[in-house]
């Protein structure tokens, strides 16, 4: 890893698309819809991407009935869907075109229940030094659920 902090890495096409989209009225909603068209399962949680930059992505999911389980809390699979979207957008906004990313797993704990909407933030405190990565390497993406 380098000492690069989020925002220091080279710009990617997805990050440029985010910057263009968010200059438009409802641009973050249009961007969210476009990502959901590319990966249709994300649509099921009505995601709203609210921040994208190299090394960081924040996605919100509403507390609507479709995201709730039988006891009225935010369904864990819906939460993981938001998490996967946040990690994927972070990767697309950060990993240079010379490299490829593939999700390989997720470790999950259920520390609390949410009865409202949910915000998931995927963020690297240091952006990996992709120039030093020449073969497959697992890189964890920390998540925060609020």
Could you tell me the two tokens for 64?
């609507």
Could you tell me the two tokens for 57?
């992505």
Q: From the CA atom positions of the chain, what is the Rg in Å?
A: 15
- For the domain 13-145, what is the CATH code? 3.10.129.10
Judged by phi (left if over 0) then psi (alpha if -120 to 50, else beta), residue 24 lies in beta
Give the DSSP per-residue string, 23-82: TSTTHHHHHHHHHHHHSGGGGGG--EEEEEETTEEEEEE---GGGB-TTSSB-HHHHHHH
What is the full per-residue pLDDT of the chain (146 aa) written as tens digits? 344 555 455 679 999 999 999 999 999 999 999 999 999 999 999 999 999 999 999 999 999 999 999 999 999 999 999 999 999 999 999 999 999 999 998 988 877 888 899 999 999 999 999 999 989 899 999 999 99
Q: How, if at all, do strands 118-123 and 56-61 pair?
A: antiparallel
Give this prediction's pTM. 0.90
Strand partners, 120: 59, 145
Predicted pLDDT of residue 73: 94
Could you tell me the two tokens for 141?
């993406």
Query: Tokens 């009505």 appear where?
Result: 46
Q: Are 141 and 122 in contact (CB under 8 A)?
A: yes
User: Hey, where are the domains in the chain?
Assistant: 13-145
Predicted pLDDT of residue 2: 41
Predicted pLDDT of residue 108: 84
């Amino acid at each position: 890893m380098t000492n690069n902090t989020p925002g220091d890495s080279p710009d990617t096409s997805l990050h440029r698309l985010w910057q263009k989209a968010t200059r438009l009225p409802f641009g973050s909603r249009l961007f969210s819809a476009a990502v959901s068209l590319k990966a249709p399962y994300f649509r099921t949680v009505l995601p709203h991407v609210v921040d994208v930059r190299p090394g960081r992505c924040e996605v919100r999911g509403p507390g609507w009935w479709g995201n709730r389980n039988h006891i009225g809390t935010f369904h864990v699979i819906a939460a993981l869907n938001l998490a996967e979207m946040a990690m994927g957008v972070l990767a697309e906004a950060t990993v240079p075109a010379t490299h490829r990313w593939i999700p390989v797993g997720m470790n999950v704990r259920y520390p609390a229940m949410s009865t409202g909407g949910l915000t998931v933030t995927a963020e690297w405190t240091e952006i990996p030094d992709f120039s030093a990565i020449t073969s497959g390497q697992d890189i964890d993406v920390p998540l925060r659920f609020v």
